[in-house]
Amino acid sequence: MEKKNIDWANLSFGYMPTDYRYVSKFKDGKWDDGELITDPNVVMSECAGVLQYSQSCFEGLKAYTTEKGQIVIFRPDLNASRMADSAARLEMPVFPEEKFIDAVVRTVRANAAWVPPFGTGATFYIRPYMFGWSPVIGVKPADEYQFRVFGTPVGPYFKDGVKPIVVRISDYDRAAPHGTGHVKAGLNYAMSLHAIVEAHDQGFAENIYLDPATRTKIEETGGANILFVKGNKLVTPKSPSILPSITRRSLLYVAEHYLGMEVEEREVLFSEVGDFEEIGLCGTAAVIAPIGKINDHGREICVPSGMEEMGPKLKKLRDTLTDIQACNIEAPEGWIRVIE
């Protein structure tokens, strides 16, 4: 298979339509067989459930080319089950988990020419998503849905090496105490856009959200979970309104089983943040992005690992997980699915 003629190393994190996408439709109470199609456009009613009442959820994962030239994906079973949870919370029909994985595999295989070659730093970002498709005007769930998967090549998250970021404590809330913070709903992102634009205007890379009920505990950012390091311990906040990041769950396992660290999932008070030596954000896009400073309404909390580079513990964690994803070191059973 001949690769597309793309300047892989200089790609940004942007959308580029590729050759094939997968679509399956839910109608009369059941999902059809699903197929690969070439048209990148979705045609729907002006009154579609997603357009009127934002009934949609999504996932994000990546395909990587290994040194041996194989294309692999990382823990797609966890994306499948998380999407099932999102769908259930939004009164959408669950797309069967085995079919989800099959749809992702078929989409990547059909677009293999778009999967960046080994060594470019680029990856193939995969976006499964689902939305209410049939017309809805009185408030209720749609009757018909589409589940789709497309992929697009994306550049390395850190083009010029990993640099610590400065974040602010947000006055906005990301999730309500018994709301939808724990599922990957498009609506969580819609309401975070104002906060992120404002943060960027003020020179901050991200917003850290505190728990909405008491504003005393750390939750996460708009699209990444948070990690704290102190000595040999890795700590991550526990809260029912945090999105269960697959990267975070994988990093906790790697810390404990590959690096011999102690791991702790617990409530993290904002007042104890100054006690930690390294702090980072984690998610599929960046794996880990180090935080250098947290700005709390003008008061700066400087993380001891500084503004020059990532701290040693988070760096080791990031390197180990990316080595597992690239198949340079052995992955735990079931983490890697070879596509071709």
The secondary structure of residue 272, as a DSSP letter, is G
- Helix/strand/coil for 75: coil
264: phi then psi, degrees, rounded to nearest 5 = -140, 125
Chain centroid, CA 157 distance in Å: 13
Nearer of residues 73 and 136 to ligand PLP, judged by Cβ: 73
CA distance 339 to 291: 34
In the stretch 299-328, what mask flags binding to ligand PLP with x, by CB under 6 A? ------------------------------
- CB contact burial 153-164 (16+ within 10 A = b; e otherwise): bbbbbeeeebeb
Among 207, 241, 284, 325, binds ligand PLP (CB under 6 A): 284
* 55 within 8 A of 141, measured Cβ to Cβ: yes
* 236 within 8 A of 227, measured Cβ to Cβ: yes
> Position 24: which residue type?
S
Per CB under 6 A, 184 contacts ligand PLP: yes
Looking at the chain, list the stretches that DSSP marks H as alpha helix, in order from N- to C-terminal side. Answer: 49-53, 76-89, 97-110, 186-190, 193-201, 246-257, 312-325
Strand partners, 153: 124
Nearer of residues 134 and 241 to ligand PLP, judged by Cβ: 241
Which residues participate in catalysis according to the annotation? 184
Among 283, 290, 292, 311, binds ligand PLP (CB under 6 A): 283
Among 247, 254, 289, 335, binds ligand PLP (CB under 6 A): 247
Nearer of residues 128 and 223 to ligand PLP, judged by Cβ: 223
* 118 within 8 A of 69, measured Cβ to Cβ: yes
Cβ of residue 91: shortest distance to ligand PLP, in angstroms? 19
Nearer of residues 18 and 245 to ligand PLP, judged by Cβ: 245
Cβ of residue 101: shortest distance to ligand PLP, in angstroms? 15
In the stretch 205-244, what mask flags binding to ligand PLP with x, by CB under 6 A? ---------------x--xxx-----------------x-
* 35 within 8 A of 105, measured Cβ to Cβ: no
- Helix/strand/coil for 10: helix
Nearer of residues 207 and 305 to ligand PLP, judged by Cβ: 207
Among 136, 218, 246, 331, binds ligand PLP (CB under 6 A): 246
- Residues that bind ligand PLP (rule: CB under 6 A) add up to a total of 13
Binding to ligand PLP (CB under 6 A) within 55-74 occurs at 60
Task: Give the residues lining the site for ligand PLP (CB under 6 A).
Answer: 60, 184, 220, 223-225, 243, 245-248, 283-284
